[in-house]
Structure formats: structure tokens, C-alpha cells
């Protein structure tokens, strides 16, 4: 749709080149400039503005848990406690 602005701007510029009236020349040049700027804006919106407004999708609880597990440091395997060593008495 925004390509119509470019076609209309080219038409207004053509009118400004072929006219002999100063008022119509000024009016058609202003119209050509305005339509050209509208075409540039439409081109920008079509290419860039639509991508920045997308919201990220929510993660499923299972996906969140998998991410948490990846970020946790590994837990070393538990070792059973060793029995206490017998007490040694110094020789008397």
C-alpha cells in the first residue's frame, strides 16, 4: 500500500515539471515531498517496526525447570560418614 505514495509523489513531481504557474509548481513540489516522506515511513514500518513489537513467548514450567537445572552447579556424590577413629592414649 505504501508504494502508492511513491507513485503519487512521482506524479506530483511530473506535474511540477510541466506546469507554468508558480503556485501550482510550489504546491506540487510540496505534495511530492510529503508523499515521498510518507513512502519512506511506510517502507521503514514494513521492514523494521513490526519486528520490535513482538512479545517473547512464555516458557512452559518444564522448560523453566530444565534451564534451572542447567544453571545449578553439579552436586558431588554424598559419601557415607567414616566411623570415628579409636582414641589413642599416649604411653605413660
Is 28 among the domain residues?
yes
pLDDT at 88: 74
pLDDT at 50: 63
Is 73 among the domain residues?
no
Domains of the chain: total: 1
H helix runs in the chain, sequence order: 3-18, 22-44, 61-71
Show the domain range for 26: 1-48
Q: Which residues of 68-82 are buried (b: 16+ CB within 10 A; e: fewer)?
A: eeeeeeeeeeeeeee
pLDDT at 83: 76
pLDDT in tens, 7-66: 999 999 999 999 999 999 999 999 999 999 999 999 998 888 766 666 777 888 899 898
Is 11 among the domain residues?
yes
Confidence class of residue 72 from pLDDT cuts 50, 70 and 90? confident
Is 4 among the domain residues?
yes
Is 62 among the domain residues?
no
Contact between 3 and 46 under an 8 Å Cβ cutoff? The reply is no
Amino acid at each position: 500500500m505504501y508504494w502508492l505514495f511513491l507513485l503519487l509523489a512521482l506524479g506530483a513531481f511530473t506535474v511540477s515539471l510541466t506546469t507554468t504557474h508558480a503556485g501550482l509548481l510550489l504546491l506540487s513540489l510540496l505534495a511530492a515531498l510529503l508523499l515521498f516522506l510518507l513512502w519512506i515511513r511506510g517502507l521503514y514500518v514494513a521492514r523494521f517496526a513490526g519486528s520490535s513489537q513482538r512479545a517473547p513467548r512464555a516458557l512452559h514450567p518444564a522448560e523453566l525447570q530444565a534451564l534451572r537445572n542447567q544453571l545449578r552447579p553439579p552436586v558431588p556424590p554424598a559419601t557415607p560418614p567414616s566411623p570415628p577413629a579409636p582414641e589413642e592414649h599416649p604411653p605413660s
